[in-house]
Amino acid sequence: MANRITSHIPNTLTCLNLFSGCIACVMAFEANYEWALAFIVFSAIFDFFDGMMARLLDAHSVIGKDLDSLADDVSFGVAPSLIVFSLFKEMDYPGIMEGAADYFPYLAFLLSVFSALRLAKFNNDTRQTSSFVGLPVPANALFWASLVTGAHDWLVSGSFHPVYLLVLVGLFSWLLVSEIPMFSLKFKNLSWKENKVSFIFLLICIPLLLFLGICSFAAIIIWYILLSVITKKNK
């Protein structure tokens, strides 16, 4: 009986990831960015623990991988897309771009499309067992949710042009499917030599968390991308 129960724990956590992601989508569509961020964080926590529990309990299932990808695309693909969609709706468009206000918001769903491509690529890429190639979808979602929540007033002011946001959407869509190697925070031991990049990353994250408030998540993701690029060049 115990084995039958424990075998369902990983998929239950994945379903909780999906459930939280659906709520994040509703919050994002209503422009309730704080709660959208909160439920994306909940999804990320469930996403972290479902894989860990599957390994600890040796409870891998036939549907687990597909279910995980479906949940991730909703929580970390559709939810951030809806956050950007709602933000585009709020933005101040200059007179020459008034017509663009009708269709620019829908370009936010490029993030959903490229997140799905990223997940499909991850599921079939043997290079990504201990690290990543391209930006992980949870990192992408946390970047957008944190940025829009923490810098909302500036983003909807006349100081930030809608085209800048579109360029940012294009950049992060590309990062999701790029061939840039990105390190994983999985520690096999506490050796400095073997985990130097992860330790440096975490040390810099501390002041970012202390001084940047909600925007710290966005800053941390930028730092993660930059450190991954620097590490690649030094290899």
C-alpha to C-alpha distance for 71 and 100, rounded to whole angstroms: 32
The string of pLDDT tens digits covering residues 145-197 is 999 999 999 999 878 889 999 999 999 999 999 989 998 877 666 677 777 88
Q: pTM for the whole thing?
A: 0.90
Residue 142 pLDDT greater than 60, yes or no: yes
Token reading at 150: 């923490």
* 100 in Cβ contact with 160 (< 8 Å): no
**Strand blocks (E) in the chain:** 132-133, 181-182
Q: What is the CATH number of domain 2-181?
A: 1.20.120.1760
Residue extents of the structural domains in the chain: 2-181
In three-state secondary structure terms, 133 is: strand
Segment holding 182, helix H or strand E: strand 181-182
Confidence of residue 36 (pLDDT cuts 50, 70, 90): very high
